[in-house]
């Protein structure tokens, strides 16, 4: 199981190390990556492990975060509703979405019991459709939750119906592996990048599992369609690429390249190769590294 908890601390390296420490020392848990951003004032941890030890390490790290983070004085560019802002569980190997959902509920209940923090289940763990989208759950942020949490439709799934004074609230849920995928355009025109982004994304009538926005790459003098592929097994990377390519054509603009940010499951690469090479009957079981891992 993979877990990518987001903590609202991106500046104090000492606090960051303390939050990360439980993952580092846990057995049967592997800290794959952690990166903090000072502007966002946020820490994103990527960790994998067996469900039980992962849960234990996570609860310990959350305890540290609750102790060292005070949201009343927290400022940053990224929206947040809690010291531990969001805890997504992602099934990556020999485990199912249902197991990820179960684990998210166990962890959610435990966060509420142990630390008195209200917990919202989101995405695949959500208990109502209006709670699926993390942006909708988080709307209002820490500052607005004192009021929001009183509304009947925003009662938390676990814990008290009033937010923790310094740690706010937390969203916990299971989701598919998300691939952060950006496609660069040979135009500095943000209107074009945004128009293409709107056209390819789900809410604009585009691809089912695709979120997108236009972004300016100032130093390079170009723009980018910045994409989150929320389920690459059903909306494929190549579909985003080919759709951006043909939408760009309308403006006389070309794709100059793309980038995958952070980690990506091997299955997404296999899928991309299968499309572009027209591979027949290829399976990721043929990848040497996968066989060795098994």
Catalytic residues: 78
94: Cβ–Cβ under 8 A, 6 or more apart, which residues? Answer: none
* 266/118 Cα distance (integer angstroms): 36
- With CB under 8 A as the contact rule, which of the stretches 51-59, 109-117, 160-168, 273-281 interacts with a copy of itself? 273-281
- Among 112, 170, 241, 243, the residue binding a copy of itself under the rule CB under 8 A is 241
To a copy of itself, the closest distance from the beta carbon of 278 in angstroms equals 4
139: Cβ–Cβ under 8 A, 6 or more apart, which residues? Answer: 148
- With CB under 8 A as the contact rule, which of the stretches 108-116, 121-129, 136-144, 282-290 interacts with a copy of itself? 282-290
* 138/172 Cα distance (integer angstroms): 12
Sign of CA dihedral 170, 171, 177, 182: negative
User: Which tokens sit at 35?
Assistant: 């990166």
The site map against a copy of itself for 53-92 (x = CB under 8 A) is ---------------------------------------x
- With CB under 8 A as the contact rule, which of the stretches 108-116, 210-218, 228-236, 259-267 interacts with a copy of itself? 259-267
The site map against a copy of itself for 200-239 (x = CB under 8 A) is -------------------------------------xx-
Task: Give, in degrees to the nearest 5, the angle at Cα 192 between 190 and 197.
Answer: 95
* 256/252 Cα distance (integer angstroms): 13
- Among 128, 135, 203, 292, the residue binding a copy of itself under the rule CB under 8 A is 292
Sign of CA dihedral 114, 56, 73, 78: negative
Contact residues toward a copy of itself (CB under 8 A) are: 2, 30, 32-33, 48, 92-93, 177, 184, 237-238, 241, 255-260, 262-266, 269-270, 272-273, 276-282, 286-293
């Amino acid at each position: 199981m993979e877990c990518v908890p987001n903590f609202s601390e991106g500046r104090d390296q000492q606090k960051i190390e303390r939050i990360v420490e439980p993952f580092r020392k846990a057995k049967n848990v592997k800290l794959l990556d952690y990166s903090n951003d000072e502007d966002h004032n946020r820490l994103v941890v990527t960790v994998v492990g067996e469900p039980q030890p992962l849960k234990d390490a996570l609860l310990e790290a959350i305890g540290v975060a609750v102790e060292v983070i005070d949201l009343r004085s927290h400022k940053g560019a990224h929206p947040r509703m809690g010291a531990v802002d969001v805890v997504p569980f992602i099934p990556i190997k020999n485990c199912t979405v249902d197991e990820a959902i179960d684990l998210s509920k166990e962890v959610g209940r435990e966060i509420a019991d142990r630390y008195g923090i209200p917990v919202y289940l989101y995405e695949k763990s959500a208990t109502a459709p209006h709670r699926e989208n993390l942006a909708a759950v988080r709307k209002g942020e820490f500052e607005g939750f004192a009021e929001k949490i009183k509304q009947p439709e925003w009662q938390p799934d676990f814990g008290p119906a009033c937010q923790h004074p310094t740690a706010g609230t937390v969203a916990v849920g299971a989701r598919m592996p998300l691939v952060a995928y950006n496609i660069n355009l040979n135009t500095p025109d943000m209107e074009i990048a945004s128009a293409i982004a709107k056209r390819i994304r789900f809410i604009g009538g585009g691809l089912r599992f695709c979120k997108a926005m236009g972004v300016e790459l100032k130093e390079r003098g170009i723009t980018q369609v910045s994409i989150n592929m929320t389920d690459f097994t059903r909306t494929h990377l190549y579909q985003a690429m080919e759709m951006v390519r043909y939408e760009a054509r309308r403006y006389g603009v070309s794709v100059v390249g793309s980038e995958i940010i952070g980690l990506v499951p091997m299955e997404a690469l296999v899928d991309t190769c299968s499309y572009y090479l027209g591979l027949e009957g290829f399976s990721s079981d043929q990848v040497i590294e996968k066989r060795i891992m098994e």
